[in-house]
A and B are shown apart, each in its own frame.
Chain A
Amino acid sequence: MRNPTLAAGLFAASMTATAFGTSAAQADDTPVLTVYTYDSFVSSWGPGPGITEAFEAICDCELNLVGAGDGAALLARLQLEGTRTEADVVLGLDTNLTARALETGLFAPHGIEADLDLPIAWDDPNFLPFDWGWFAFVHDRTRTPAPPANFRELIDSDLSVVIQDPRSSTPGLGLLMWVKAAYGDEAAEIWEGLAPRILTVTAGWSEAYGLFLDGEADLVLSYTTSPAYHLIAEDDDSKAAAPFEEGHYMQIEVAGIVAETDQPELARQFMAFMLTEDFQSVIPTTNWMYPAVTPQDGLPEGFETLHRPETSLLFSADEAAALRDTALDEWRDALAR
């Protein structure tokens, strides 16, 4: 899921994969499509292995997935490399990052007409969603039987929450946007109220989730889909997402084609493949997010138990970019007191 890494995985990418990959490619001229993505996507437990196999079966090419930290690190890496980048496709940015990504001038329109199953309309010509989810505070039903129903109840409770730092983590930034979307000008006041409830702030998602599982905190900022992992993989139904009356902010994860790609055809083929059954059916139980196009057989058993918010909150990419610095200052001022 959202990448936990503390550091930009600059030299990341499985060395062996790359080494063998290039030599094999040189040997028989198979075209190579290089996709930069976040670490947890390429991990052995993420969607990477399944998707590589499925795409290579149809593309007569080699798919080289390169893990480069998390969503923000991914963009920073692309900016560092500039137009000389090896990447043909970048997969794993979210709508809080796409405005900045577009500003770099490194992306080209995808040119794909897509029929998506998202709670909102999607018409971005440059980036195409591959999965999405709602942020939520996850709790353990046995420890916290009556979770708060909104931010103000959370403020008035005596529960402890662990969240991620918006400066280093995409869910952390998502929460900033969530509060801003739900409370607008009152966001600063909400953060001041939340400050005593916040046990600590971690650099990445996995540290926060780990603290929650160890019983350090009552609630953790994660996704409405997180309980599905425990239910499906561990047969444990004790975890649940607390429904918030304000609605839940969305994370829409997208991919884009790099303008300088030397494989434009393959890149477009990959983007189209991204919305097919073979790719989308891997997502729910490896990335633990909702697929952008619901597979024919529907979602895996267990997903029907998840909370589906009635109100979905989301800023457009431009709004999110414009609000980012103010929201960060409000957050820091409130929590740094």
Chain B
Amino acid sequence: MRSRVELPWRRRLPAPAWALAAAVVLLLLALNFGALGAVFWRAEPGAAVFRPADWAALRFTLVQAALSALISVVLAIPVARALARRRFAGRRALVVLLGAPFILPTLVAVAGILAVFGRNGLVNQALAWAELPGFSIYGLQGVLLAHVFFNLPLATRLILQGWSRVPAEHLRLAASLGFGPAAMWRHIEGPMLRQVVPGALAVVFLICLTSFAVALTLGGGPRATTLELAIYQAFRFDFDLGRAALLALVQAALGIAALLALASFTLPAMAMTGLDRTAPPPPGGLARWVDVASITLVALFLLVPLGMVVLRGAPHLASLPAPVWAATLQSLKVAGLSVVLLALFTGALAMAALWSRWGQMLEGVGMSALLASPMVIGTGLFIIAFPLINPARLALPVTALVNAAMALPFALRAILPALRRAEADHARLSTSLGLGLGAHLRLVLWPRLRRPAGFALGLGAALSMGDLGVIVLFAQTGGETLPMQLHRLMGAYRTQDAAGAALLLLALSLAAFVVLERLIGGKEPHHAGT
């Protein structure tokens, strides 16, 4: 796909699809650069300066994001391997549940984490009972713990995809050649990981780059100031838009640098053809125990905090006040619209990336939402919209649009590899059979894209439901969405109702994910893995 040679089986994108893709690209560019430009334009004239405290924020942002990415991905490798090669009852449910922390709104997740690792949490209670010294979550360790909690599931999913793309034939061949673990690593696992790990590192790094509420709360104070918090301060505390925009540029530059650095390590994803036969039985012995331990530990780490959210919320679920239900409806609307937009964006960009010469560039644009500062996007859009229309009327479309743009990088990561592989495997045959574009899409590509598409749209719906909890911001921009109402309950001292609402949000996010994944992805996976 990197080749520029005109190949006879390479299709051309019809004009309407081109127009759609171009519109999506323009919209995304407008969203990112337009918003940033608007903030600069509206800023008071005068040089915005980078203060000494900003260097500290830059350093902390870099350190926490890099460590979060590294730890998440390193831990994800054994988990993904275990999940890829073991089959056990409840595996599919476990894979779905393990994805939950990523789609969880920040507030809910932090409550769950603290219930386990906080000063008064299960771990410290157990330590006190055993008369061992307590453990403090507040500090860099807490920030990393929370970020790993959020992103380990995502990293696991991304790496699991890599594993599931290893054709069964390779594994059978390896087994018949009598490969030991070292040979497996050298010839099969290592090269595969070099294809997926840099991408996974980049995604987690970018997500953590814009973190601020989690970093501040668990970081224990102003030493845990991230760039995003500095942007927030410039806007809210100093109303210095020039500074806010400057800091946002620095933040984006950091993200781009990380992307470029990691891209240079990445092996190009080679088409590995296979017939999707069943894989040979997984190795036993020590490997088996490593796999069991990996799955058990990660399940405990991710599911116990979720269990605490359920435990605390369940008694208050039935008695939730009426405005919470109204907000639920609003959240469903936002999520619904967001999924439609996401499907449109992903479809247009993925096809254009596949069949045009600018594939890499288009993919880059699709990923760009992760580079932008949520605070600056929000402010910039407001500056653009305000003279034209009452911003409150735009709450639903704008929230849905931004949610879709923010979920787009994950959707593209899920769809594009599958699309490229399907095209590499079947394009020649399809062309030689004289299939038109419509038939090619319907008969050849769609059956192979259903599963990743279901995953991508389910993820989009869930992220939108919690308003992409990890990157705090657009939670406030909707009409009263559920996360917003949850925040208001907490702001009105109603912690018990808030616990109930948190559980409702958790359940809805998960349900949205599962329903869409099943509905679009179909019931039975045609191939193991994601």
Contacts and interface: CB of A to CB of B under 8 A. Distances in A.
Interface in B447-474: 472-474
B53 interface: yes
Given A7-B476, A201-B222, A168 B233 contact: yes
B221 interface: yes
Interface stretch (A128-136, A182-190, A328-336): A328-336
Interface string A5-46: 111111111111011001000000000000000011001111
B370 to A, nearest CB: 18
Nearest to A9: B476
Interface string A297-318: 0000000000000000000000
A148 to B, nearest CB: 19
Contacts of B219: 200
B493 A1 contact: yes
A117 to B, nearest CB: 24
Given A1-B492, A10-B378, A11-B395, A216 B53 contact: no
A7 B107 CA distance: 13
A160 interface: yes
Interface string A206-217: 110111011111
Contact of B488 (A45, A165, A209, A233): A45
B46 interface: no
Interface stretch (B71-79, B146-154, B174-182, B210-218): B210-218
A207 B217 contact: yes
A199 B220 contact: yes
Interface stretch (B272-280, B381-389, B503-511): B381-389
B122 interface: no
B301 interface: no
Interface in B305-331: 321, 323, 330
A15 B396 CA distance: 8
A15 B479 contact: yes
A46 B216 CA distance: 27
Contacts of B188: none
A277 B114 CA distance: 43
A210 B495 contact: yes
B161 interface: no
A40 B492 contact: yes
Interface stretch (B17-25, B89-97, B234-242, B347-355): B234-242
B487 A4 contact: yes
Given A4-B491, A43-B488, A168-B232, A336 B56 contact: yes
Nearest to A1: B491
Given A15-B392, A80-B382, A7 B475 contact: yes
Given A40-B492, A209-B493, A216-B114, A167 B237 contact: yes
Given A1-B492, A167-B232, A6 B472 contact: yes
A203 B493 contact: no
A81 B386 contact: yes
Contact of A336 (B223, B232, B492): B223
Contacts of A165: 216, 222, 229
Q: How large is the interface on A (under 10, 10 to 19, 20 to 34, 35 or more residues)?
A: 35 or more
Contact of A12 (B217, B477, B498): B477
A203 B211 CA distance: 12
A86 interface: yes
A64 to B, nearest CB: 9
B34 to A, nearest CB: 16
A159 B379 CA distance: 40
B473 A6 contact: yes
Among A4, A202, A210, A233, chain B packs the most CB atoms within 10 A around the CB of A210
A203 B236 CA distance: 12
Among B114, B223, B492, B495, chain A packs the most CB atoms within 10 A around the CB of B492
A75 interface: yes
A201 B220 contact: yes
Given A7-B473, A11-B391, A45 B138 contact: no
Interface in A150-166: 160, 165-166
Nearest to A208: B217
Contacts of B229: 165, 167-168, 203
B296 interface: no
Contacts of A15: 330, 392-393, 395-396, 478-479
B360 interface: no
Given A1-B492, A14-B479, A73-B236, A7 B375 contact: yes
B124 to A, nearest CB: 10
Contact of B490 (A12, A199, A206, A337): A206
A224 interface: no
A336 B222 CA distance: 5
A271 interface: no
Contacts of B393: 15, 18-19
A71 B375 CA distance: 17
A274 interface: no
A229 B496 CA distance: 13
B382 A4 contact: no
21 contacts: A6-B475, A7-B472, A7-B473, A11-B477, A15-B395, A19-B393, A43-B485, A69-B476, A80-B379, A84-B386, A199-B119, A199-B138, A203-B229, A205-B491, A206-B491, A207-B213, A210-B495, A213-B495, A230-B493, A331-B222, A336-B223
Given A13-B392, A336-B221, 16 more contacts: A4-B487, A6-B472, A7-B374, A7-B474, A8-B476, A40-B488, A43-B491, A46-B488, A100-B239, A167-B229, A167-B233, A209-B493, A214-B115, A215-B120, A216-B119, A335-B221
Nearest first, the 3 A-B pairs at minimum CB distance are A15-B479, A215-B120, A45-B492
